[in-house]
Structure 1
Amino acid sequence: MKKFSLLLFLIPLITFPQDFTKVDNVTRAAYKKVTTIDALAERINNDFETDIEKVRSVFTWLTFNVSYRLHYSKTLEAPEFFVYLNDEDLEKVLIAKEEKKITDAFYNRQAVCEGYSLLFKRICDLLKIENEMVFGYTKASGDYVGVIPKGKNHVWNAVKVNNKWMMIDATYGAGYISKNIWIKKFNDTFFDAKKKVLNGTHYPGDPKWRRFLGQKELREFCQDPVVKSAYFKHNLDVLEPKQGVIDLKNKSHLKFKIKGLKHMQSLLYVYGKEGMIRTPEVSGKKEYRDYYFKKPKEDTTLHIYVDNELALEYIVKVE
């Protein structure tokens, strides 16, 4: 009897990853003609029972309907100067500007990260789901490696569901930029993103969220290479080089030691200024292999692809 009781007690502790296929399909098919933010929140609230399903629906709607507007810089917009009579007047001006960003994202179906995050927050507020915007820093490309930011350049969301905080980045979930072109591609890696993923891609400005992620120091984060979704998708581990800036001044080639690549997977690389797709020479054991890249002629960025998906970016210095 005691053994049977113990088994019953343990069963509720067993959990399985949730399948959001139904939520995604309903959201994409049924909400195309929703005309107001309030109406969208009402539909989500009526169609789904649990908070996690509702939050997923918000994420899916944003990533499916809102495209990234190719107007960005290394920092968020600089503070503006306003003429106002008192603090109450200033608050009204700021609220109006925020409201415009939210409505622009919804009605124009275009936004930068702030628009995605503000609209995400508005819908969650209407659904009465606790949430916060997280301001911080990300490395969008290899050009950012080794650059210590002077200001925040990205914002995403934290949502509390079942008494647990999760981080969600609808901007990253909607697609990515390649050669100054927006590529729309749904990526749910950044829905309830794992801390391991965010530690390689996002740096919160608030110490509270850095502690939540167990994030390293900013300087160390900035010196790391840029890691993309394919890096985590294929469960890769670069044993060397660890730094994002590679100095080849006194070397004849570039050597990588990578763990996790399967035998049939392809690895290709491109130097930014050359544009030629190359295949490295390979040696080593099955568990991990050594990859030898040809030395570029000048300082450049290095883009590494696994199965034709961008996985890593570095800065290479030869002069």
Structure 2
Amino acid sequence: MPQKKIAIIFLLLNSIFLNYTFAQKINEVDKIVAKYPKSFATTEKLAERIEEDFNSDYDKARAIYSWIAFNIRYDYNAFLNPPRTQGFSYSTEAEKQRKIKELNDRLWQKAFSSKKAVCEGFTALYQHLAELTGLKSEIIRGDSKISLRDIGRKNTSSNHAWNIVLIDRKWRLIDVTWGQGYFDNSKGRMVNDFSPVYFDTDPDYFFAKHFPDSGSYLGDRLDKDAFLNGPLIYNKTIENDFKIKSPTTGIIEAKYGDKIDVEIKNVKKSDQVLYLNKRNQPVLIKNAKEKRGGLEFQIPYDNNIGEYVTVFVNTNSIVSFKVIPK
């Protein structure tokens, strides 16, 4: 089949698949919250509604996540034109905490009233609603990995924020900013696309895309090099538990004629697996082998492979690697 026809079919299947899976990924808590008003008079009224409808801390935490993701939009204009950062002075730890609270209060109030925010507003609103419903939550700031250019970066930077919330004596990782949607480079705008995968995310997946400023999580040091040099994974990778077993790094050194060995757990031979060449044309993987609960295959490194190679499973991007010629 000509490559052009494959590309058209690929895009069509992708559109159909996205529409179908959206209905599948809404759980019972989300269905209830989806019927809530888009606006409440106060955050206290919203918290009261959540407490009326849900008993467990887990469901309350999920309801807060869902309502924010459904109703607060990412303010891309504010991201492009951030207000000037204003520092503050303090003489005691108590004064420092009071001023931080005042800052967070302004952030959640603006997000709640305007229905738009950047990550600081999302996290402040989540923390505030968690406190109103009797949950303990904290805001964590750090780095994020979102694009091909992030593979092999030399340093981390503080450019993002997320929450942790204590449920059943266990801290859970939450990124409601990413739960509400994503930026579509091809369209040059934000796309509203609810994703549940950033609620109570598996730490292995979460820290492949996030790195806290502290460099640690619950007292354990995280591997900074693994974050910077690891492959770029996507929402569907997390949703389907597609663990990337090989290559173990996001940076592959190869010469023409080499074959890049790839192993992904929980992928079946019946799944359609392909990669994009440097002209963004899909190339179907052939002769893949099922092994150890996953799929093994090879990608030939030739002049059709560009600086990056992205693997797709059933039309969804799963993992990207950076290829450096030897």
Normalised by the size of structure 1, how large is the TM-score? 0.78
For residues 84 and 233 of structure 1, the distance between their equivalents in structure 2, rounded to whole angstroms, comes to: 43
For residues 138 and 71 of structure 2, the distance between their equivalents in structure 1, rounded to whole angstroms, comes to: 22
Between 1:134-143 and 1:172-181, the stretch displaced more is 172-181
Aligned twin of 1:3: none
1:239 is displaced (CA, Å) by 3.8
> What are the Cα deviations for residues 226-275 of structure 1, in whole angstroms up to 9, with x where unaligned?
11222233333434322212233x3235523224321221122235x633
Is the Cα contact below 8 Å between 2:269 and 2:290 reproduced in 1?
A: no
For residues 226 and 206 of structure 2, the distance between their equivalents in structure 1, rounded to whole angstroms, comes to: 14
Structure with greater Cα Rg: 1
Residue of structure 1 aligned with 2:312, choices 298, 305, 311: 305
How do 1:142-153 and structure 2 match up within 5 A? Answer: 142-153=148-159
How do 1:142-291 and structure 2 match up within 5 A? Answer: 142-179=148-185, 180-207=188-215, 209=217, 211=219, 216-248=222-254, 250-252=255-257, 254-260=259-265, 261-271=267-277, 274-285=279-290, 287=292, 288-291=295-298
Aligned twin of 2:8: none
How do 1:51-70 and structure 2 match up within 5 A? Answer: 51-70=57-76
Matched position secondary structure for 2:248: coil
**Alpha-carbon distance change, 40 to 73 in structure 1, aligned in 2, over 3 angstroms:** closer
For residues 204 and 165 of structure 2, the distance between their equivalents in structure 1, rounded to whole angstroms, comes to: 18
For residues 296 and 78 of structure 1, the distance between their equivalents in structure 2, rounded to whole angstroms, comes to: 45
Counterpart residue identity of residue 257, structure 1 = V
Structure 1: which 5+ residue stretches go unaligned?
Answer: 1-18
Q: How many residues align?
A: 295
Aligned twin of 1:317: 324
> What are the Cα deviations for residues 51-85 of structure 1, in whole angstroms up to 9, with x where unaligned?
222111100101111222335879xx798355889
For residues 253 and 112 of structure 1, the distance between their equivalents in structure 2, rounded to whole angstroms, comes to: 43
Is the Cα contact below 8 Å between 1:280 and 1:293 reproduced in 2?
A: no
**Alpha-carbon distance change, 221 to 48 in structure 1, aligned in 2, over 3 angstroms:** same
1:44 maps to 2:50: yes
CA root-mean-square deviation = 3.4
Matched position secondary structure for 1:29: coil
Matched position secondary structure for 1:255: strand
Is the Cα contact below 8 Å between 2:260 and 2:301 reproduced in 1?
A: no
1:97 is displaced (CA, Å) by 4.6
For residues 143 and 303 of structure 1, the distance between their equivalents in structure 2, rounded to whole angstroms, comes to: 13
Counterpart residue identity of residue 156, structure 1 = W
Normalised by the size of structure 2, how large is the TM-score? 0.76
